[in-house]
Structure 1
Amino acid sequence: MSSTTARRSRSAAVAAERGQGSSIERQRRKLLVPFVGPAFIVYTILFIIPAIGAAWISLHEWAGSGPMTFVGVKNYIMVFRDELFMKSFGNTLLLLFVVGITIFVLAFAMTLVLRDMAGKKVVRNVIFFPHLINALVFGILAGFIFNPGGMVNSLLKPLGVSEPPAWLAQDNIFPLIMATLVAVTTGYFTTILMAGVDRIPPYYYEDCALAGANAWQRLRYVILPLTWDVFGTCAVLWTISSIKIFEIIWVFGGSSGAGIPPTQSWTTAVYTYVTAFSGQSTPAYGAATASAIISLALVSVLVVLLRRAMRRDAVEF
């Protein structure tokens, strides 16, 4: 009899717990609409509807006004057959991988150097400062520094270099842009990585010292595993940023005196802008939108691949 009563009591307790859980779930659902609904409406108006409209425009020939002629996937085929787009696409991949890897290697090295340095907070603020300045400013400054009468050539002449390199020539401008991006962006990612390293509890390092672990073992078994999620976040941030790089390339082109940047320095963002607004008697909004959607698809695929490639069991501490 007592066992039957105990089972009934447990059943009642389980039922009550389930009822309480379902009540909480109903309350959450009631709060979902008033809190998430307005944000979803704004997101739909500002992003989803324009994205659908852009996809529709990409299937037409359109000059920005007047009638639209439906051409299906013709714009996409034309974009992929355009050697200039493929060159721009290749430059975008160079920025993504070559510049990205260089930035992360330098940022992580600076993080390790600054980790135990006195006054690292001041250094962190200094190296983060360039991120607060618009990329246009750095493009303008770089143009002044590297133009034929600029600071670099003025410093080289006293050293016996009678004919300094033409830094802003078409063949040199893209490597110069890559170097500028590394110089401007490394401090930003260093700050993020430093925050990730600083959150590691000190007792991990104390355990390593007691176990006799060397610097490489501390890096491999402590620092990298405990900051892997930070690396993943940085990789996604750089992927999104590198696809959108436009201002600094455009300003470099103006510095070279051509107005429109040399085609050797174009990325998909520049290609999209020029196709839509510049360099043609009749703007091709359909083709430009098609190239923009291709860039969006590239970002989406790369972000998914990065998240999967960098997926790892979470380490709690």
Structure 2
Amino acid sequence: MTLHSVRRSAPSRRPAGRRIRNRNLLAAVLFMAPALVALIVLRLLPAAAAMFESLQRSTLLGGTSFVGFDNYVAMFQSSGFLNSLGVTLLFALIVNPVQVASALLLAVLYSRASAGSKFWRTLVVVPIAAPPAVAAVIWSVIYRPDGIGNSLLRLVGIPEQPFLTSSDQALFSLIVLLSWVGVGYWMMFLIAGINDIPQDYYEAAALDGSGFWRTFFSITLPLLRRPLAFVLVADTVSNFLVFAPVQILTRGGPDGSTNLLMYDIFTRAYTTNDINTAQAEVVILVLITVVVVAIQFRLLREDS
């Protein structure tokens, strides 16, 4: 083949390569299109609608008028909303570390090859099969004055507890319920992350004489950072959206001690028919979630 023929054939390859790249780009766009459409229709458009409606107020004649941030000002002047906000932040501050720490501890224990580990792992995972509403009904029986909870307490000499009927215990009772359901679910992700850690690291640590805690903090925890970040963020978002157990068990009581923001939004929207203020609460809840998640990502950055 002469140099002249090579030069003549070179331009013919460029359009072919360009066509291949265009086909690959088109294929990528087609594959991504359903997810993008779902993101726009199910996430972005509802978020924009909530923001727009939160800046309006319904009139007595059934219309709406633009009021700017008046709904937000009135909301932050409401003792009911401030109580709900405080309860939600306290709930998140307790339930997220409890669930993630418990899931991490169980994942480390049950990922080790020991007698009975698969059996106990199965028992922890079983509650995942129960939907939140079903789990709430199950625990409503446990928390009854004559239920299983107080029966077990009497066996160890502890007096009966009011659980859901006490403003001091109701929120913590919900945390126990949600942890019973959630810990096993998040544990599965962390076990998968632990199993992905090369065994060479653990063998080298064993040769160096490292103990359990030294190995955990020097190998397991650093290499588990990405799965742990996912679990922490997903768990946080999930707990900010808790609704069914509150609706079934406490209805925000007693004395507003379990009135989480999601339930308060439901009450304002469908009980008092204050849709605009409810949308303002949705915006505040989303902002809180975004800020908390951003802080978590910052704390769990690989270069931190």
Structure 1: stretches of 5+ with no match in the other structure: 254-258
Deviation (angstroms), 1:41: 2.7
Aligned-pair CA distance for 1:299? 1.4
Change (3 A) 1:28 1:159: closer
Deviations 1:226-279 (CA, angstroms, capped at 9, x unpaired): 1111110001111110110011111111xxxxx66431111110110111112x
CA–CA distance in 2 between the matches of 1:20 and 1:97? 58
TM-score (norm 2): 0.85
Q: Which runs of structure 2 are paired with 1:1-317 in the superposition (5 Å)?
A: 25-62=21-58, 66-114=62-110, 115-154=112-151, 164-167=160-163, 168-253=165-250, 261-262=253-254, 263-278=256-271, 280=272, 283-312=273-302
The 1:198–1:159 alpha-carbon spacing in structure 2 relative to 1, beyond 3 Å, is closer
Matched-pair contact (CA < 8 Å) for 1:243–1:299:
yes
Does structure 1 retain, via aligned residues, the 8 Å contact 2:96–2:235? yes
**Partners in 1 of 2:72 and 2:300 — Cα distance?**
31
Distance 1:237 1:159, change over 3 A: closer
Q: What is the CA–CA distance in structure 2 between the aligned matches of 1:121 and 1:27, rounded to whole Å? A: 48
Alignment partners' CA distance in 2, 1:212 and 1:150: 49
Aligned length: 294
- What are the Cα deviations for residues 124-181 of structure 1, in whole angstroms up to 9, with x where unaligned? 33211212211112212222222223233345567777x7332222332112112222
2:224 is paired with a residue of what secondary structure? helix
1:20, distance to aligned residue in structure 2 (A) = 8.9
Consecutive aligned runs of 4 or more in structure 1 exceeding 6 Å deviation: 15-23, 158-161
Query: How far apart are residue 64 of structure 1 and its match?
Result: 11
TM-score with structure 1 setting the length:
0.81
Distance change >3 Å, CA 110–CA 40, structure 1 → 2: closer
Cα distance in 2 for residues equivalent to 1:289 and 1:91: 19
Distance 1:305 1:217 in 2: 27
Distance in 2, matches of 1:17 and 1:234, equals 48
Question: In structure 2, what residue type is equivalent to 1:251?
Answer: I
Q: Aligned partners of 1:65, 1:119: CA distance in 2, in Å?
A: 67
Aligned counterparts of 1:239 and 1:103: Cα–Cα separation in 2: 10
Q: Which has the higher contact order (CA 8 A, sep 6+)?
A: 1
Pairwise CA RMSD: 3.0
Alignment CA distance shift 1:219-1:302 (3 Å): same
CA contact (8 A) 2:106 2:187 kept: yes
Judge conservation of contact 2:103–2:187 (CA < 8 Å) in 1.
Answer: yes
- For 1:24 and 1:224, the matched residues in 2 are separated by 44
- CA deviations 1:263-312 (Å, max 9, x no partner) are 1111110110111112x3xx110000100111111112222222222110
Q: Point out where structure 2 has 5 or more consecutive residues left out of the alignment.
A: none
What secondary structure does 2:257 align onto? helix
Q: Please say if residues 142 and 149 of structure 2, whose CA atoms lie closer than 8 Å, have aligned partners that are also in contact.
A: yes
Q: 1:39 to 1:195 in 2, by over 3 A?
A: closer
Letter in 1 for 2:213: W
User: How big is each residue's C-alpha offset from its partner over 1:75-118, in whole Å with a ceiling of 9 and x where there is no partner?
Assistant: 11112222222222222222322111112222222222222323
- Which amino acid in structure 2 is aligned with residue 66 of structure 1? G
Query: What percent of counterpart residues are identical?
Result: 27
